[in-house]
Amino acid sequence: MSGLHRDKPRTIAALGLIAASALALSACASASAEGDAAGGAANGGSETISYTWDRNTATEEGADPVYEETTVEVPVDPQKIVVFDMAALDSIGALGGEVAGAPLESVPDYLEDHLADDAFNAGTLFEADLIEVEAQQPDLIIVGGRSAALWEDLNEMAPTIDLSMRDGFLATLEANTTFLGEVLGAQDEAAAALEELTAGIDEAKAAVAEAGGSGLGIMVSGGELSALAPSKGDGDTRGARGGLIYDVFGVEPVVEDVEAATHGEPISFEFLLEHDPEWLWVVDRDAAVATEGAQAAEVVLDNEIVNQTTAAKEDHILYLDPTAWYIVFGGIDTTQRMIDDVLQIAGR
């Protein structure tokens, strides 16, 4: 069963979040008691919550997005939830809920406790096992990010919502946590989690400010480096993952315009030495996706050129949890891990 389990302990430490209003988001939820309205409530209950967002209906790869306002009626206290978004799995579990089905091979070890003991494999993040999902008769299905394209097929089987990031990391985290709290009947737990996250992010930002110095986020993959750039602040969330270290935690980028400086291309070891950031924040993509035979980021960066940089000499190369920063990227417990990563800077 995937209802709320009040006796399940939460695993959130004191962390921080800027109070962005969920009402300002394009994806919003409002309580409703319309019975089995559009989408219905498969759990037999009568209460639903309306979830509305602007859905990208463009189907051709590389095409400009075409948005259509979409509303789904979500059952309150759904008994069988299927999730194709790891951040949603994270927050459901942290709020005391349980997930009946997911792409099991993509679930990180630290989120496995959020699955039911008899959880079924719902496919992958990119391709749902439609036959199995339909056979399981879920009450609610959640997609987001990589799995957003699955919405149309899945919504034919059960109410399906898309919890993708739309308005930046913090605003999305607040809106999705608040909404899931309403769905699970865990409003107080959701509010407490957000309050704790707010304190933690503030603490991490303060630690970054106290350490001082410039920084650069990099991703290591296949022995090559890519520089992570701050988001442009124009509402485009595609750069939010890379920009998180700057945009949320206040790291001062060593290059004023990282994207212009790199032309969106992989960077060289010489680039690091030339710009010489005082802090390096490293995401090992190969570790995140379990690339067979790949060198660890620590090995790739242990070379004569990098060892001449200030970051290397001062022991200022900080390795971030690759699963949290690259795969899950959101959710209550994962944000905890991100904050802990940033707090590595304290005392260095």
pLDDT digits (tens, 9 = 90+) for 132-148: 999 999 999 999 988 99
User: Where along the chain do its domains lie?
Assistant: 22-192, 212-345
Banded pLDDT at 71 (limits 50, 70, 90): very high
Banded pLDDT at 191 (limits 50, 70, 90): very high
Mean pLDDT, to the nearest integer, of 42-49? 67
Task: Residue 164: name the closest of 182, 156, 176, 155 by CA.
Answer: 176
CATH topology of domain 22-192: Rossmann fold (3.40.50)
pLDDT at 230: 86
Give pTM, 2 decimals: 0.85
Tell which wins on pLDDT, 59 or 104: 104
SS3 158: coil
pLDDT at 63: 78
pLDDT at residue 298 is higher than 70: yes
Mean pLDDT, to the nearest integer, of 187-214? 97
Give the Cα separation of 60 and 344 in Å (integer).
43
Query: What separation in angstroms does the CA of 225 have from each of 26, 42, 59, 284, 301?
Result: 35, 48, 32, 10, 9
Structural Rg of the chain based on CA atoms: 21
Residue 128 pairs in a beta bridge with: 123
Query: What separation in angstroms does the CA of 5 have from each of 12, 31, 94, 120, 292?
Result: 16, 22, 10, 19, 38
pLDDT at residue 20 is higher than 50: no
pLDDT at 125: 93
Mean pLDDT, to the nearest integer, of 22-31? 42
pLDDT at 58: 81
pLDDT at 14: 37
Structure tokens at 322: 């690759």
For the stretch 232-265, pLDDT in tens is: 665 455 566 778 899 999 999 999 888 888 876 7
Task: Residue 94: name the closest of 297, 315, 330 by CA.
Answer: 330
Mean pLDDT, to the nearest integer, of 85-96? 97
Domain 212-345 annotated CATH 1.25.40.10: no
Banded pLDDT at 37 (limits 50, 70, 90): very low
Render 242-257 in DSSP notation, one character per residue: HHHHHHTT--EESSTT
pLDDT at 59: 76
At residue 25, what is the residue type? L
Among all chains, which residue has been given the structure tokens 């986020």?
A: 217
Structure tokens at 3: 């209802």
pLDDT at 190: 98
For the stretch 317-345, pLDDT in tens is: 999 999 999 999 899 999 999 999 999 99
158: left (phi over 0), alpha (psi -120 to 50) or beta: beta
Q: Do domains 22-192 and 212-345 have the same CATH topology?
A: yes
Among all chains, which residue has been given the structure tokens 């008691």?
A: 33
Return all residues near 261 (Cβ < 8 A) that are at least 6 apart.
227, 255, 275
